[in-house]
Amino acid sequence: MRKYIGQLRTERSLGAHYTISAPPADVRLKRQMKHMTGDDGSKSVRALQLGLRAQHFRDATLTSFDRESWWGIVRWAFLRLGYRCCSRGGELGTTDDHDFVIERGLTWASFTWHDASPGTDGRQFFIVYYMKIKDGKLTAERVPIITRRTLEPGDKSRHPMCVYDAVRTAWDMQSQEVPAEHAGGCQPGCACQRSQTAFFRRVSRVPVRTSDVKEGVRQLVGSLGLEPSQYGGMSCRVGFATDAVDTYGQTVADDLFQQMGRWAGDMWQIYARISASAHMRSAEEIEMSSGVSIEELADGWVQPAARRTRR
């Protein structure tokens, strides 16, 4: 579409002996160009990157995938939290080409721990304050994401799939290295060590980077006999988005992400992959249908064609 309009401009310019150009500040033009981009589709073909699904985590707990060494505990924690919060690899620490920024990254002060509450069905929980996915206005506003413990209070064991247990184990293991300097948690702008230190760190104690998350994902799927090259730093996000749609359907999943506050629109949908299980379930349920259409009951009435409008 964009090329077609460009060609029309060129031909009209030749015939009129002057150049036809659009005013750069025309808001309507920007809106139309945005629509054209939607019509034209993506400029490039997206490379294959499969999602790290909940089933992969369940299967990994039954293999020899390391979850007990120092790095194994940290790696399992950031993979589980990355999935839970639908994260890109760099959001868990920093990207490979940038230094860690405390205003945007996950520090020790990004986590708060809470006792059992009636609102969490009597389970302990933590809140992680995540930066919004898109922060075009540079507000540095964080969104609270709540995760409760799977096991009952007082249970000293660790549930292999519990995100709370995974993150808490990493917290307790490192807490003496980054001691709390005051009670009651850190306040915005606090200059204490926990407010200035990345929570997820490598063995060398430098912040985790996108490449570390990518490698962790590939090590996990490799332990399951899958092809590691088909997974990467975006796999946690793809996996959670796909599982959300597979479990709740498109409408409920859309509301879930809106309420989580980390997407203002529906951009998260580009990460949700078509679910084969959902397709099979739908096909089996459709085959059980026994209803009739209104056209069959209302003699002579023809259902009008519904016009799809751009949202």
**Do both 147 and 194 map to the same domain?**
yes
**Do both 6 and 128 map to the same domain?**
no
Query: Is residue 282 in some structural domain?
Result: no
Query: Is residue 139 in some structural domain?
Result: yes
Q: Provide φ and ψ at 237, rounded to 5°.
A: -65, -45
Nearest to 72 by CA among 166, 175, 180, 193: 166
Residue 30: the pLDDT is: 61
Query: Is residue 16 in some structural domain?
Result: yes
177-188 in b/e form (b: 16+ CB < 10 A) is ebeeeeeeebee
Query: Is residue 48 in some structural domain?
Result: no
**Do both 211 and 67 map to the same domain?**
yes
Distance of CA 230 to the CA centre of its chain: 18
Lowest mean pLDDT among 131-140, 228-237, 291-300: 291-300
Structure tokens at 246: 């597979």
Tell me the whole-structure pTM to 2 decimals.
Answer: 0.73
| CA geometry: angle 174, 180, 185, nearest 5 deg | 115
**Do both 136 and 175 map to the same domain?**
yes
List, in order, residues 6 or more apart from 234 with CB less than 8 Å away: 49, 88, 89, 271
Average pLDDT value for residue range 289-301: 59
Domain boundary residue among 189, 219, 239? 239
Range of the domain at 197: 54-239
**Do both 76 and 196 map to the same domain?**
yes
Q: How many CB atoms lie within 10 A of CB 274?
A: 9
Q: Which residue has tokens 């307790």?
A: 172
**Do both 16 and 139 map to the same domain?**
no
Per-residue pLDDT at 310 exceeds 50: no
> In angstroms, rounded to a whole number, what is the distance separating the alpha carbons of residues 85 and 174?
22
Nearest to 140 by CA among 181, 107, 179, 164: 107
Give the model confidence (pLDDT) of 240-293 as tens digits: 888 888 887 777 777 777 666 566 666 656 665 655 555 555 555 545 555 555
Domain count for the chain: 2
**Do both 107 and 70 map to the same domain?**
yes
What's the pLDDT band for 142 if we cut at 50, 70, 90?
Answer: confident
Query: 186 with 109: CB under 8 angstroms?
Result: yes
Residue 300: the pLDDT is: 72
Domain boundary residue among 184, 217, 239? 239
Give all strands (DSSP E) within 149-264, no chain letters. Answer: none
Nearest to 266 by CA among 235, 245, 243: 245
Query: 129 with 142: CB under 8 angstroms?
Result: yes
Nearest to 166 by CA among 143, 185, 147: 147
**Do both 182 and 221 map to the same domain?**
yes
CATH of the domain at 91: 1.10.443
